[in-house]
Structure 1
Amino acid sequence: MAVLAAAAAADFALPNCPDKCGNLTIPYPFGVTKNCYMGPDFFINCTANGTAFLRRTNILVTNISVDLGEIQVQQYRAYDCYDEMGKRNHNIPWIWVAPPYTISGTKNKFMAIGCDTYATFRGYRANQERFITGCISFCDRLYSGEQDSCSGIGCCLTSIPDGLKNCTVTLASYYNHTYIRSFNPCSYAFVVQEGHFRFSDSSFQQLHNKELLPMILNWEIGNEPCDAAQETTQNSSCKAHSKCVNPNNRSTGYICQCLPGYEGNPYHPNGCQDIDECKASNSCSIGVCVNSPGDYSCKCPKGYKNDGMNPKSCIKDNRSKTILLLIISLGASGGFLLLVVGSLWIYWGMQKRKFIKLKEKYFKENGGLLLKQQLASQGGSMETTKLFTAEELEKATNNYHESRILGEGGYGTVYKGILPDNSVVAIKKSKVNGAPAQSDVFINEVIVLSQIKHRNVVRLLGCCLETPAPLLVYEFIVEGTLSEHIHKKIGKRSSLSWELRLNIATETAGALAYLHSSALMQIIHRDVKATNILLDEHYTAKVSDFGASRLIPLDQTQLTTLVQGTFGYLDPEYFLTNQLTEKSDVYSFGVVLMELLTSKVALSFARPEEDRNLANFFVRFMEEDRLNEVLDDDIVNERNVVTLKKVAEVAKRCVRLKGQDRPSMKEVAMELEGMRVTPKQPWGKSEVSSPEDTEYLLGSAMNSDAYFVDVRGDFGSRGATIGTTSGYDSIQIQMVMPYDGR
């Protein structure tokens, strides 16, 4: 961590104020005694033994940087241990951070260590925006000397964003360390400065003996950005020869930094001090160095001159020779001009050929040849998908401006694009360039979507293969995801009535039935969930996210694959056997039906442990004849009670443990279609044709958030990541839909 440079002329503390607490340098605006710090937020409590604490807390301070607006503190790690009898002993400290301090997202990582461990990290920003992330690690033995990466085997890590305060850590295990207690009785979780903890086979013993780990906090001055603070001189804390800096886009205040050519403390009344560059060796390789405020120049000796507009270097003065060379060059200008024109023409041709070869290279790397082969083998052709040029999509997205971002997932970013005909599209740009696995994901999605022609499936409009990262172009779905509506996510106007929910469920079931039995080749979606069902302007359902889907040949009924899906929706039979069938989609759709009936999320750690999984929770209440207790009160009325119970029975059958006991999607679609009551409105079954009609079908305004949990890999030896979604943002299991409407 960079600390203020130790220059002789630099002033750290205010006059007559201590500038040390033990070995820690205390620069202003911080201070250890009254009138020596800018405000109570910058008080350093220095104990008699030279230990420094932040304000009146027990947070130990070990370094302070005025240049970067950072302090290094020591934070207690959380632990969760079990003795030989399985008795739990744990301590999970609360990370206290209050303005003007926030946890640095660029300098810290969240880590969990253990062989039966899952940990979460929650925090809030100044506007009360909530963030949650976490990870899972498993292992069945300690790896002696061969396991030094934090990849999910005994250790997992994840990033956190800037600007978080008042954070909490939760730490638990799935099996109470029952099977690994002999060699790993404890789990640990902590936020640590990046690069200050390296996982190895000795990490468990190291954490057993070490309670504190370093963490970086950002700090700032005031609650106004630079432009507001500099309107009047007295409002700015930046002194002479310094500048005001907005640390990042999450900051509400500012920090000060010395101008180039100056060093010291920009908050000190004396300001930053000039650096005498002439005292440094080789400042001027030729001539005499002349120092000036904030800069220096070189006074050249006879026969030399400054190099053009650069006063810091000297070159030989060849003006007389230059005149002679100019005369000679004018005499040969005609031939030289022809040579230049010819060279430029050749160069232009070479560059053009190079550009064409580069686009051909990207085409191959992005799976263009594989796409042609697959489309041909599926009976299609390149004409089924429009090929956009890179220039077209750059113009449509305003050169991929951040204001056009609709959402981000693990494998790509979705942008809003406006084509020359003013049609609005969604454009997915992959994050990884030239990675073979990513090309497979991209091609798989194109192949899957090229087989689908259905009004309730998001339509693929085209793709672009001549860029470093492959691009997919989809129809733009304006009303976002079903999850955002039924869970009343902020930003949506209202929740959905039961009539609309039943229409959406029926349309989704019909789309999945089509994928299973009516497409040219059976397609198993493999990640059916509320966030992958989009709603258009008429509230028509659109199934999305085919990055994880698989085409099943007609002569096969099941396929062995690496388990992929989302916890809460994941078919337990598929999870245990790795045998993928269409009944896995039936299970996931049953969970979506339960969400529509209850407005509860599929997996919630806020519910009691036995009720975290909505499927188990819902079935248990039905078997106890308590269905009315879990239904969403906003959709229940005396006219639809019978229909609600019938739909609940369908959902219950869909989530039976054995796939052979579940109905097919075709049977589910037929049952739901039979239950759907056709309202006497001009739009028929499911389409909304006017704002008044839409308002009739919609419920109350949304005012709460929902969160989702996705897990990567299996529990045997791989880690997983728990995260949230907000807006269009998505964290997927393995393969991410280019546009999921979020």
Structure 2
Amino acid sequence: MGLFDCFGAFDYCTHETSAQTHEIPTKNVRLFSYYSLRSATRLFHPSNRIGRGGFGVVYKGVLRDETQVAIKALSAGSKQGIKEFLTELATISKIRHPNLVQLLGCCVEGDHRILVYEYMENNSLHTALLGSYSKRAELDWSKRAAICLGTAKGLAFLHEDAEPGIVHRDIKASNVLLDEDFLPKIGDFGLAKLFPDNVTHVSTRVAGTVGYLAPEYALLGQLTKKADVYSFGVLILEITSGRSSSKAVFGEELYVLLEWTWKLFKEGRLLDVVDPDLVDYTEDQITRFMKVALFCTQAASQQRPDMKQVVKMLSTDVTLNEKLLTEPGLFRPKSSSKSEGDSFRFSSHSDKGKECVTQPTTPTNLEHSTTDMIPR
């Protein structure tokens, strides 16, 4: 039996899947045999490897009907049994939105846990924008603005409209995938519930994505929607600047991207952040996008807008109330030494080097107007 024959409901490929899955209702989750996925990836050949994340390695695969798919071999063992695992996947597979990567099916044979997704022709935003020059795509401002807005819409859907609502936990450039028209789609949503807390790189190697992590999440473990909002704000700055939040440093003080943006904002030089490769853009629009990023990355989580507000601020020509904008927060390793690699301090531009946590404040209730957008 080939892969095409197995690409359907459980009943059509029972004899090629583990006997343990017998009589488990799969609803929207299509089951693939391990043999068929090995064939689709040419035995998971390294040449078909297209990415790696906290949950596993991703390979390009081709089905019997020539449909291209992305096959993610999960690297960590699930804490759940097969029934519970499939139940979670059934929930994820029902979540549909134009800006979310669609889960097509899975394999649950023996110790194998493999997910099958729709294939995205232009890989990840990280590759297209921040990767090696040979792999980068030509992303003009119109494409970048559309990527910002589409990603915001996908995240707003996860937070407010998905049932149940989902906090992504790892919004970053490598988890925003691009289709053939550079339409952005968020990947890896909902997967955190499939694994113990100590098996993803978010919890064991915070330094790996420290540039995206909200202070209250990295320091205190407070995981809310506003942690995703913070990460999205950092992502906007990467898209507008063409620079990595975790690698690029600026000035004699070696500011990271968020610190540098805040400094230039206070000096009235925000346009200096813009990627020099961008030559055709509207200054008011790109400036508004960067200010939205600063609203999203404020140290106190209560001061950040929700994602539906973010969508409105990005999609309409509003004037932002900058008087409400407060300083961003971020983490830096105390030391680069291995022994202190998991130790972080909260810092900001004005308090660089001090160990502190900004106490959340409650934003003042102020009215909106048609021209004055007040994130709160």
TM-score w.r.t. the length of structure 1 is: 0.37
User: Which of 419, 428, 431 in structure 1 is aligned with 2:63?
Assistant: 419
Output the CA distance in 1 between the equivalents of 2:255 and 2:85: 34
Q: CA offsets, 1:181-225, max 9 Å, x none?
A: xxxxxxxxxxxxxxxxxxxxxxxxxxxxxxxxxxxxxxxxxxxxx
Q: Which residue of 2 aligns with 1:630?
A: 273
Output the CA distance in 1 between the equivalents of 2:16 and 2:269: 67
Q: CA offsets, 1:278-309, max 9 Å, x none?
A: xxxxxxxxxxxxxxxxxxxxxxxxxxxxxxxx
Q: Matched residue of 1:468: which SS? A: coil
Structure 1 residues not aligned, in runs of 5+: 1-354, 373-380, 552-560, 677-709, 722-742
Structure possessing the higher radius of gyration over alpha carbons: 1
Identity %: 37
Summarize the Cα distance change of 1:486–1:493 in structure 2 as closer, same or farther, 3 Å threshold.
closer
User: Which of 131, 150, 154 in structure 2 is aligned with 1:507?
Assistant: 150
Output the CA distance in 1 between the equivalents of 2:253 and 2:190: 32
Amino acid at match of 1:662: R
Summarize the Cα distance change of 1:430–1:670 in structure 2 as closer, same or farther, 3 Å threshold.
same
Q: Matched residue of 1:646: which SS? A: helix
| Contact 2:128-2:135 at 8 Å conserved across structures | yes
| Contact 1:448-1:546 at 8 Å conserved across structures | no
Output the CA distance in 2 between the equivalents of 1:486 and 1:410: 20
User: Which of 210, 230, 233 in structure 2 is aligned with 1:590?
Assistant: 233
Output the CA distance in 1 between the equivalents of 2:225 and 2:285: 26
Output the CA distance in 1 between the equivalents of 2:294 and 2:29: 40
User: Which of 644, 651, 654 in structure 1 is aligned with 2:293?
Assistant: 651
User: Which of 167, 173, 182 in structure 2 is aligned with 1:539?
Assistant: 182
Output the CA distance in 2 between the equivalents of 1:600 and 1:474: 28
Output the CA distance in 2 between the equivalents of 1:410 and 1:619: 30
Output the CA distance in 1 between the equivalents of 2:222 and 2:91: 20
Amino acid at match of 1:655: T
Structure number with the higher strand fraction is 1
Q: Matched residue of 1:634: which SS? A: coil
User: Which of 21, 43, 49 in structure 2 is aligned with 1:405?
Assistant: 49
Summarize the Cα distance change of 1:489–1:608 in structure 2 as closer, same or farther, 3 Å threshold.
same
For residue 412 of structure 1, report the CA deviation from its aligned partner: 2.6
User: Which of 139, 155, 158 in structure 2 is aligned with 1:496?
Assistant: 139
| Contact 2:29-2:86 at 8 Å conserved across structures | no
Q: Which residue of 2 aligns with 1:393?
A: 37
User: Which of 120, 141, 147 in structure 2 is aligned with 1:477?
Assistant: 120
Output the CA distance in 1 between the equivalents of 2:193 and 2:38: 31
TM-score w.r.t. the length of structure 2 is: 0.71
Number of aligned residues: 304
Structure 2 residues not aligned, in runs of 5+: 1-13, 195-201, 319-331, 344-376
For residue 620 of structure 1, report the CA deviation from its aligned partner: 1.5
Q: Which residue of 2 aligns with 1:359?
A: 18
User: Which of 310, 321, 334 in structure 2 is aligned with 1:668?
Assistant: 310
Amino acid at match of 1:490: Y
Summarize the Cα distance change of 1:564–1:521 in structure 2 as closer, same or farther, 3 Å threshold.
farther
Q: Matched residue of 2:211: which SS? A: coil
Q: CA offsets, 1:239-278, max 9 Å, x none?
A: xxxxxxxxxxxxxxxxxxxxxxxxxxxxxxxxxxxxxxxx
For residue 442 of structure 1, report the CA deviation from its aligned partner: 6.8
Q: Matched residue of 2:275: which SS? A: coil
Output the CA distance in 2 between the equivalents of 1:535 and 1:411: 19
Q: Which residue of 2 aligns with 1:486?
A: 129
| Contact 2:212-2:234 at 8 Å conserved across structures | yes
Residue 578 of structure 1 pairs with residue 237 of structure 2: no
Output the CA distance in 1 between the equivalents of 2:203 and 2:58: 26
Q: Matched residue of 2:311: which SS? A: helix
Cα-Cα RMSD: 3.6
Q: Matched residue of 1:427: which SS? A: strand
Q: Matched residue of 1:584: which SS? A: helix
Moved more, 564-573 or 650-659: 564-573
Summarize the Cα distance change of 1:410–1:641 in structure 2 as closer, same or farther, 3 Å threshold.
closer
Summarize the Cα distance change of 1:501–1:472 in structure 2 as closer, same or farther, 3 Å threshold.
same
For residue 546 of structure 1, report the CA deviation from its aligned partner: 2.7
Q: Matched residue of 1:428: which SS? A: strand
Q: CA offsets, 1:483-525, max 9 Å, x none?
A: 2222362333533111111111000000000000001111000
Q: Matched residue of 2:290: which SS? A: helix
